[in-house]
Amino acid sequence: VSSSLRLLSVGLGPIGLAAAELALAKRSVALVGAVDVDPGKQGLDLAVLLGRPGAVGIEVEGELAAAIERHRPDAALLCTSSFLPDVHESLLLLAAAGVDVVTPCEEMLVPDFQHPDLAAAIDRVALAGGATVVGTGVNPGFVLDLLPIVASGACRVVRRVLGRRVVDAATRREPLQRKVGAGLEPAEFEARVRGGRMGHQGMRESVALIDRALGFGLDSITQSVHPVLAERELSTRFLEVRRGQVAGVHNVGTGRRGGETVVELDLQMYVGAVNPRDEIELEGDPTLKWTLEGGVPGDIATAAILVNTLARVAEATPGLKTILDLPPARRVG
């Protein structure tokens, strides 16, 4: 369809593939190309990676610049890393070419929180190139931050934001089970935490987005990472956890002002979690408190938010944005 948005899919891990799959189903989007750094994926038809029969007619490429030149996309989904320094070069290439970018890179939710210089550079290039760049996702980007921010619109006063997300990792894909540390010995988990390789990315960005939206003026934004230990033997389709081993991770993102905790976001992702759910409480006037049964399923919903955000980005003025700058993404056909 000539009026649909020409989309380039960059990064074909689980999230990138789920988003590409969804993009193929949308009338409003025409997937025109796919890029991944993995030589094992290059040259394959995208259908192979999607586990679809037949071909979709899109061959995975390795060179982003060449793909931009060849396909002249309107927008790209950039699903390559959780860390801004890792996506920075690709972002600049895309933005300089006038290609809008939507990315689940966790640090891109509030890009200038950890990387003000890189963020400023991206903004300059995006403005010059006429591209809009935004980071989004489910967590961070939706459950523990955007929803309470939107709900705060109904509040005269918000004194505190409390969020709790409980995910049963047994229902999730294997990489996520490994990522939360399921099956590790506690000592190994702690070693990985010290190495900065454990815990959910983006907890601090969620707190920072809330701070920015609600003007709390937080003094400090921190996160803690602890293991959840198995109290009994657990097993999933992919792995076994013995009693006393790690079942998963407990992350808390905290925002403080004047010694008081103003934002506390509590994330538990572990095998065997009971009563999975998303709970939010805005303490204020009025106090608003809700529970989302079962919780928003992360992978499906992240793919959906990425694709649904494309329409918002297409309408927006150029530059590096946050989701606070855009009308809310909604399900598009």
Q: Which residues bind its own copies (CB under 8 A)?
A: 22, 25, 138, 142, 146-147, 149-158, 213-215, 278, 284-286, 288-294, 296-297, 300-301, 303-305, 307-309, 324-333
In the complex, minimum distance from the CB of residue 280 to its own copies, in angstroms, rounded to a whole number = 9
Nearer to its own copies, 102 or 234 (CB): 102
Nearer to its own copies, 65 or 324 (CB): 324
280 phi, psi to nearest 5 deg: -130, 140
Task: Read off the tokens for 41.
Answer: 């994926």
Nearer to its own copies, 237 or 330 (CB): 330
Task: Read off the tokens for 19.
Answer: 């988003």
Angle between helices 84-96 and 64-71 (to 10 degrees): 30
Nearer to its own copies, 196 or 333 (CB): 333
In the complex, minimum distance from the CB of residue 151 to its own copies, in angstroms, rounded to a whole number = 8
In the complex, minimum distance from the CB of residue 52 to its own copies, in angstroms, rounded to a whole number = 16
In the complex, minimum distance from the CB of residue 231 to its own copies, in angstroms, rounded to a whole number = 29
Nearer to its own copies, 40 or 215 (CB): 215
List all residues 6 or more positions away from 230 whose beta carbon is below 8 Å from its beta carbon: 241, 242, 243, 244, 245, 246, 247, 271, 272
**Sign of the CA dihedral running 15, 20, 21, 26:** positive
Exposure string of 139-165, with b = 16+ CB inside 10 Å and e = fewer, is bbbbbbbbbbbebbeebeebebbbbbb
In the complex, minimum distance from the CB of residue 181 to its own copies, in angstroms, rounded to a whole number = 25
